[in-house]
Amino acid sequence: MKKIVFTDEQISDIENDYINNHLSCEDIGIKMGYSKTPIIELLKKRNKLKKGKSDGIKIELSDYQKKTIKNLYLNEYKNSYEISEVTNLSKSFVDKYLTTCGYRRSVGESISLRQKGKKRSEEVKKILKTAQQKLSKSGKRKQYGGVCKTYDVNGIKCQGTYEKFYIEKLISENKKIPSESKPIITPYGVYNADFYDGENLIEIKSDYTYEVLIGVKKSRWTNKFDLTQYEKIKWINDNVNPVKIIIVDKKNNKLIKKEIL
């Protein structure tokens, strides 16, 4: 069998999908038209393969890790992707562990819990906070963007001043106030819209972040062009729910709608 040789661009895309977009090796293979084997081999060779993948090493969870996973899933109602983010384990490993332990919920139960909007208990909040602190101190967490201050505007949580401006402008003009949105799984990774107005998912951007989104400018954090977020938005818009991209022009006190191409 002829050995697959990836180009530099393909390698960059694979690592970005695996590390930043949290796609599994199998999902990346499907996306690129390969089996998962060459993807795993590439990531192993470049020391990018996460614990819990097919690297021949058995993962032994500590009691603390087991308790964290159990609480996040059963009490916090987190999914395997969200748990993998906290524990720094692969999503597939978390999936297998949940199944082995018999913790798995049915599809109906999962949908019901999401609709009810279950809130985390104080115990789980403490566990989650401790887990995040340990991960941060370990040096394994990578920061790919700036840290936004959170504002509470009329009961709506706004990440950063642009979202804050958007909600305050709607209030000042007596327009309908949107609600916070929920994560949606796409073939390109998890998508989190900024708001939901009952009909459309709302994506808030500045001039700069919009140009990064559509690939006109490089991200100042990664110094790379990356259309992954835009691919998520297009997929959601075509397959799940309409998405509105709104550019906030603070200087001219305007909101500008952009079309999804």
Res. 148: pLDDT tops 70:
no
Mean pLDDT, the chain, integer: 79
pTM of the model: 0.47
Q: What whole-number distance in Å separates Cα of residue 260 and Cα of residue 256?
A: 13
- Compare 99 and 77 and report the one with higher pLDDT: 99
- Compare 105 and 96 and report the one with higher pLDDT: 96
Q: What whole-number distance in Å separates Cα of residue 104 and Cα of residue 193?
A: 27
> What is the helix (H) or strand (E) element at residue 183, kind and residue range?
none
What mean pLDDT is predicted for residues 177-187?
87
pLDDT value, residue 53: 46
Res. 124: pLDDT tops 70:
no
pLDDT digits (tens, 9 = 90+) for 184-205: 888 888 888 999 999 999 999 9
Res. 242: pLDDT tops 90:
yes
What mean pLDDT is predicted for residues 126-133?
60
Strands (E), the chain: 150-153, 156-159, 184-186, 189-191, 195-196, 201-205, 243-249, 254-258
pLDDT digits (tens, 9 = 90+) for 79-93: 777 787 777 777 778
Structure letter (DSSP) for residue 258: E
| CA within 13 Å, CB half, 58 | 1
Q: How confident is the model at residue 54 (pLDDT cuts 50, 70, 90)?
A: very low
pLDDT digits (tens, 9 = 90+) for 10-50: 898 888 888 877 777 877 877 777 788 888 889 888 888 87
Res. 57: pLDDT tops 60:
no
What mean pLDDT is predicted for residues 222-226?
84
